């Protein structure tokens, strides 16, 4: 046999071994997945993770995971990473904020059609619209957040009935806690009703709605640095004309624009917590609201 023939035969053998190996590996993976009866729950981003943590506490045979990195914050214009795709492909249940926050949802569904999707924004009323776009940051209103808790709890009870009782009990306890917090919050911040504020982060619009604040909100998708000079000037003019005393920003935002407005108008900056990032502890939402309450008082 010529050397060339031997090499060709060797290559063919290697390719065949490779193919067989791949098939075996694929099947092994499949059976691993079938044997694993843990329900994998994936939340889209941080606020949904904290919410789900409260409802799933103590549930059996489940695994809760957040899709996006906590530092990502909101998911406006978000592109799925390979890591995200992997989590979605293995998920049984996906919990979304809804209202367009998860624009990648179609891609996620095509990657895993068996995945059950729970939209936390279902049937929530009094949404704030900017032209054609709905403000999706509903969780900054405690009242709307409670509705989100109810929606997620109902969705989980339906898709994972084995833990229905736990979900129900956890949701009831969490809602009770949130209702008490809301009562205290509205009571102690009564004097903000009808007050005017410049809001440089659209996440706080629902907070303002709940507190009765009259807010001039600039939609920036949290990129205050991209605000044009004309926009800034128009805000300063409005603040002067209307004697606005409050400027609301996210404590993680760049303060440059807020400081310019402060210098020009004498209004005061309030650095609030939008609940978009923090530790993975389940009390983080409650803590964020309490933090805002202390600052706004």
Q: Which residues bind Zn ion (CB under 5 A)?
A: 74
Structure tokens at 251: 């404590």
Q: Shortest distance, CB of residue 120 to Zn ion, whole angstroms?
A: 15
Q: Shortest distance, CB of residue 74 to Zn ion, whole angstroms?
A: 3
Toward Zn ion, which CB reaches closer, 97 or 163? 97
Toward Zn ion, which CB reaches closer, 74 or 91? 74
Toward Zn ion, which CB reaches closer, 52 or 75? 75
Q: Shortest distance, CB of residue 91 to Zn ion, whole angstroms?
A: 23
Structure tokens at 56: 């799933």
Q: Shortest distance, CB of residue 123 to Zn ion, whole angstroms?
A: 21
Q: Which residues contact 182 (CB under 8 A, 6 or more apart)?
A: 142, 143, 146
Toward Zn ion, which CB reaches closer, 115 or 128? 128
Q: What DSSP letter does each residue of 114-142 carry, written as one string?
A: T-EEEETTTT--S--EETTEEP--GGGSH
Spatial separation of the C-alpha atoms in residues 47 and 50, rounded to whole Å: 5
Q: Shortest distance, CB of residue 205 to Zn ion, whole angstroms?
A: 10
Check if the beta carbon of residue 135 is closer than 8 Å to that of residue 92. Answer: no
Toward Zn ion, which CB reaches closer, 136 or 152? 136
Spatial separation of the C-alpha atoms in residues 95 and 120, rounded to whole Å: 7
Spatial separation of the C-alpha atoms in residues 288 and 27, rounded to whole Å: 47
Residue least distant from Zn ion (Cβ):
74
Spatial separation of the C-alpha atoms in residues 20 and 16, rounded to whole Å: 6
């Amino acid at each position: 046999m010529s050397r060339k023939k031997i090499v060709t035969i060797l290559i063919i053998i290697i390719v065949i071994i490779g193919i067989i190996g791949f098939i075996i590996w694929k099947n092994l993976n499949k059976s691993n997945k079938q044997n694993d009866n843990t329900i994998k729950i994936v939340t889209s981003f941080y606020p949904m993770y904290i919410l789900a943590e409260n409802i799933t506490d103590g549930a059996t045979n489940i695994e809760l995971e957040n899709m996006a990195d906590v530092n990502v914050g909101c998911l406006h214009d978000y592109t799925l990473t390979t890591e995200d795709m992997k989590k979605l492909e293995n998920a049984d249940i996906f919990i979304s904020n809804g209202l367009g926050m998860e624009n990648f949802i179609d891609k996620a569904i095509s990657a895993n059609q068996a995945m059950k999707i729970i939209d936390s924004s279902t049937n929530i009323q009094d949404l704030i619209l900017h032209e054609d776009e709905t403000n999706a940051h509903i969780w900054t209103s405690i009242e709307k957040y409670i509705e989100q808790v109810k929606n997620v709890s109902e969705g989980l009870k339906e898709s994972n009935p084995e833990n229905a009782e736990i979900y129900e009990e956890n949701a009831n306890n969490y809602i009770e806690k949130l209702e008490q917090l809301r009562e205290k919050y509205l009571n102690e911040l009564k004097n903000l009703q009808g007050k005017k504020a410049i809001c440089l982060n659209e996440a706080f619009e629902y907070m303002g709605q709940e507190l009765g604040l009259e807010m001039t909100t600039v939609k920036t998708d949290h990129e205050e640095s991209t605000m044009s000079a004309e926009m800034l000037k128009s805000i300063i003019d409005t603040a002067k004309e209307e004697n606005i005393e409050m400027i609301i920003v996210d404590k993680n935002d760049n303060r440059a624009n807020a400081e310019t407005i402060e210098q020009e108008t004498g209004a005061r900056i309030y650095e609030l917590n939008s609940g978009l990032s923090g530790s993975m502890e389940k009390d983080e939402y409650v803590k964020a609201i309490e933090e805002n309450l202390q600052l706004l008082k």
